[in-house]
Amino acid sequence: MAFPIVAAPLSAASAALPHWSAPPQRYALRRESAPWQAPLLIAALMVVALTLATPAQSNTLELHQAEAMALDAEPTLLRRQALADAYQEEATAAGALPDPGRNIGYQNLPVDSLSPRDEMMSMAMISVRQRFPAGDTRALRRQSAEQRSQLFRHEHAAQDLAVRRAAQQSWLRWYYAHARLQLAEESIDTLAELMPLIDRRVAAGTADQQDQALVRLELADLRQRQLAEQTALARARAQLERWLQQPVDVRTPGTIPAWPAPDRARLETAIDSHPALQVADAEAQESDLAVALAEQAYKPEWMVELGYAHRRGRDMDGRRSDLVSGMVGISLPLFQGGRQDPARRAAEHQAIADRLARQDLARQLHGEFRHQLALWQYSAQQLDFYHQELLPAAHESAEATERAYRSDRATADELIRLRLRIIDLQMEVLNRAEQRDLARTELFYFAAESLPGAAQ
């Protein structure tokens, strides 16, 4: 009655496939039939075969299928990719010079007529000016935008891992909820098998009706457990559907892959390249660029302006010559205590905070990895103990008690108690197996690796 834990599907999918036998002789293709009949009959048989076979294949949802469906349905992955592309484009704009400015107008117009011809000092002017940001501001802004783009690419990778882990764990909880429900249903049938034996003994006068009432009471308790497992299965299914964005109520879980034991040394070394740490590194590098950018504010900005003036007025000697002007402007960062100094100190504090956050995140990842590894080892050891010690001993004791009960050397209470003990042990096996497999998904998540057999 033990439920398969590792490489066994919940339902035999092969049993659902149609079995095709040789066609009866009266339907065999005759050589003298029309030449178009044979291809049509063959095509019809193929269509029927595919139609009958497809539902059996689509009723099973494998782990790697659920993972791929969750990745396709996750909008935040596309959002982070779009943000990465946006900042990559912004980097080009951030490194460019500011747009030049242009002035067009008149100067020195007389107030009484406003005519540029009445005053020889009146002139029509046009000028162009270009501003140059201080120091390496443009290069640093470009690098900052590129760093922000890289940060979102790392966030995309981190979110990809998080979605994979969530889908894997939701599928595993759905799988084991389905398994516990099946075990609860089988347990009712197993305990109900004792009723004919007890009825015969009551009829023979070697047992009383209290034994029958005890079996009915325990059956009612198992039915209550069955209802609880149905509720748990519905919750697990809803959680899985939340990630898949489509219903799975008509499907059954597939097979859990036969995963090898985790390689602790390799996985723990891989934590240092986890995308979450790469995000923290990118944030720290961006903060360093912000410090360098704040330091550029101590340097002056430059401005160059070129102008041309056309004079319309005339004097006694005739028209005056046009004029050309050129100017160079410079900013004066004199009030550093109220502007540049606070901005630089704020950027430095933010850089320190980001580096400390990165150290804290690395400590958390390594600590959680060791915790999940210990949980996996404990669950695996417990499963071995259940399979090698507890379950064989419980089955042996239950069989011995049943033989003793048949010969009137044991009570019905002892027989029922041992049967229920086996059911509880089998439920505990499923719980330990679920705990082990959930811990395994955490280990591969912290190592930024995909489970063997997972979606690529």
Residue-wise pLDDT for 196-212, tens only, equals 888 887 787 777 788 88
Q: How far is residue 75 from each of residues 23, 48, 119, 163, 168, measured CA to CA in Å?
A: 51, 39, 69, 11, 18
Does the residue 16 lie in any domain?
A: no
pLDDT, mean of residues 98-109: 86
Q: Does the pLDDT at position 11 exceed 60?
A: no
Compute the chain's Rg from CA coordinates.
40
Q: Tell me the HSE value of 407 on the side-chain side, using a 13 A CA sphere.
A: 6
Q: Does the pLDDT at position 226 exceed 70?
A: yes
CA pseudo-torsion sign 420, 423, 425, 427: negative
Distance (Å, whole) CA 395 – CA 422: 7
pLDDT at res. 316 = 57
Instruction: Provide the CATH number for the domain around residue 306.
Output: 1.20.1600.10
pLDDT in tens, 168-195: 999 999 999 999 999 999 999 988 888 8
Q: Which residues pair with 252 in a beta bridge?
A: 60
Q: Does the pLDDT at position 142 exceed 70?
A: yes
Range of the domain at 177: 67-446
Contact (CB, 8 A) for 73 and 244 = yes
What mean pLDDT, rounded, does the chain reach? Answer: 83
Give the CA-trace dihedral at 89, 91, 95, 96, to 10 degrees.
20
Does the residue 5 lie in any domain?
A: no
Distance (Å, whole) CA 359 – CA 81: 26
pLDDT at res. 52 = 44
pLDDT at res. 257 = 83
Torsion-angle region of 114 (φ positive above 0: left; ψ -120 to 50: alpha; else: beta): left
pLDDT, mean of residues 379-383: 95
> Which contacts qualify for 70-77: CB closer than 8 Å, 24 or more apart?
70/163, 70/164, 70/166, 70/167, 70/170, 70/243, 70/244, 71/160, 71/163, 71/164, 71/167, 71/455, 73/243, 73/244, 73/245, 73/246, 74/159, 74/163, 74/243, 76/159, 77/156, 77/159, 77/160, 77/163
DSSP H helices, 134-274, are 137-192, 194-204, 209-244, 264-270
pLDDT in tens, 151-169: 999 999 999 999 999 999 9
> Lowest-pLDDT range, 110-119, 141-150, 156-165, 178-187?
110-119
pLDDT in tens, 78-96: 999 999 999 999 998 888 8
Contact (CB, 8 A) for 69 and 244 = yes
Amino acid identity at 33: S
∠ Cα 431 436 438 (to 5°): 95
Distance (Å, whole) CA 38 – CA 311: 99
Does the residue 202 lie in any domain?
A: yes
Contact (CB, 8 A) for 347 and 421 = no
Tell me how long the chain is. Answer: 456
Chain position carrying tokens 């923290």 = 280
pLDDT in tens, 390-420: 999 999 999 999 888 888 888 888 888 999 9
> Lowest-pLDDT range, 251-255, 347-351, 362-366?
251-255
Does the residue 12 lie in any domain?
A: no
In 297-384 the beta strands, taken as DSSP E runs, fall at: 302-311, 314-315, 318-319, 323-330
Does the residue 324 lie in any domain?
A: yes
Total domain count, the chain: 1
Does the residue 53 lie in any domain?
A: no
Does the residue 30 lie in any domain?
A: no
pLDDT at res. 176 = 96
pLDDT at res. 319 = 65
The DSSP symbol for 272 reads G
Q: Does the pLDDT at position 20 exceed 90?
A: no
> Which contacts qualify for 322-329: CB closer than 8 Å, 24 or more apart?
322/123, 323/123, 325/127, 327/129, 327/303, 328/302, 328/303, 328/304, 329/129, 329/302, 329/303, 329/304, 329/305
Does the residue 49 lie in any domain?
A: no
Phi, psi dihedrals of residue 314, rounded to the nearest 5°: -130, 150
Q: How far is residue 327 from each of residues 21, 79, 108, 306, measured CA to CA in Å?
A: 97, 47, 20, 6
